[in-house]
Amino acid sequence: MAKRVLIAMSGGIDSSVAAMLLLEQGYELVGVTFRTFDSIKESCLAKEKGCCSVENIMEAKHLAERLGFEHHILDYRQIFRDTVIRNFTSEYMCGRTPNPCVLCNSHIKWGELMRAADEFGCEKIATGHYARIAEHNGHLYLRVAADTTKDQTYFLWMLTEENLRRTVFPLGDLQKTEVRQLAAAHGFKKLSEKRESQEICFIPDNDYRTFLASEGLIVEKGVYVDADGNRLGEHDGYCNYTIGQRKGLGIALGKPCYVTRIDAATNTVQLGSHDDLLTNRVDADQIRVRDTQWLKNDPEVEVRIRYRSKAVHARLQIDGTHLTAFTYEPVWGVTPGQSLVVYKEGMVVAGGII
């Protein structure tokens, strides 16, 4: 009997091609698409039209029908609000810049997905992420995808070993160009040309400030200061800024200036030069380490401080629930709230929140 696999489908090209590949490999699929954050009316769902969210859900549903496997729409809006949205707003309230995709992957896309897999009698879970799984020293690790330009392991560092034990990444060994070619070869030319979304799913216009205001996070104007605490001017409230920001500051100092520090308690935003944001030390809490002894015995690693940043060589120090990376070359714009992800031999060995 074919193994049943629960596949998360967004309606996009990656999860769709992942489904096609699994079917070709003989798996029995159960497709699921989440409703996480939207204002979809039930009447829109019934008519299968009305907004981009409905279109994505229905594209996933219709693709599953065309390929001949069952599909379910799962309503996770409340748990998404209670976890991802609440964390997003509370982090900004504290003057940090969160990465909601990291939390969503661990709590929603795997936490809830594993429960759904059990409900539908599925042994494995599959997604369209660009990542691989490797084994080392008796542990399972995330491994960087073959297409390093699309690799998504940075967003997945919170996944547990139990998560990985039940996960399949059909696209891990493929290049993005190959995925597009496969979609076209299977008769889905329109899908093969579909544009990718780079935005946070609950902020489709990429305007997080308006979103925070709609969630009730409105902070009154505050003061810009320099490194010595001297007043430079007035800003629109600390939650409207992030470390490394240069544009949209609304202040002219006769030279390029960047946000170098945010103090939520005093509603002050510190400005400085590009070089003020260079450092060789990154600290993180809320850490997860796959094999502590391995890292203590051999602390030479590579680290990334944001999704698009290159991995840099570093020496790791683990102290209980605290992790410090001492980088051999300066990194720029270390941002509280973002993730520090630690790699060794192409595998994710640890991570934490900066």
List, for residues 178-204, the tens digit of each pLDDT value.
Answer: 999 999 999 888 887 777 766 788 887
Paired tokens of 121: 């009698």
> What average pLDDT score do residues 136-157 get?
96
pLDDT at 45 over 80: no
3-state secondary structure at position 22: helix
pLDDT at 80 over 90: yes
At residue 2, the pLDDT reads: 65
**What is the pLDDT confidence band of residue 36, given thresholds at 50, 70 and 90?**
confident
Question: pTM here?
Answer: 0.92
Task: Return mean pLDDT, the chain.
Answer: 92
**What is the pLDDT confidence band of residue 325, given thresholds at 50, 70 and 90?**
very high
At residue 193, the pLDDT reads: 78
At residue 135, the pLDDT reads: 96
Instruction: Look at 50 and 67; give whichever has higher pLDDT.
Output: 67
Beta strands (DSSP E) in the chain are: 4-8, 28-35, 70-75, 124-126, 132-136, 139-143, 167-168, 222-225, 231-235, 258-263, 268-272, 278-289, 300-304, 312-319, 322-332, 339-344, 347-353
At residue 202, the pLDDT reads: 82
CB atoms within 10 A of CB 49: 10
What domains does the chain contain, in order, with CATH numbers? 4-192 (3.40.50.620), 219-272 (2.30.30.280), 276-353 (2.40.30.10)
Catalytic residues: 104, 201
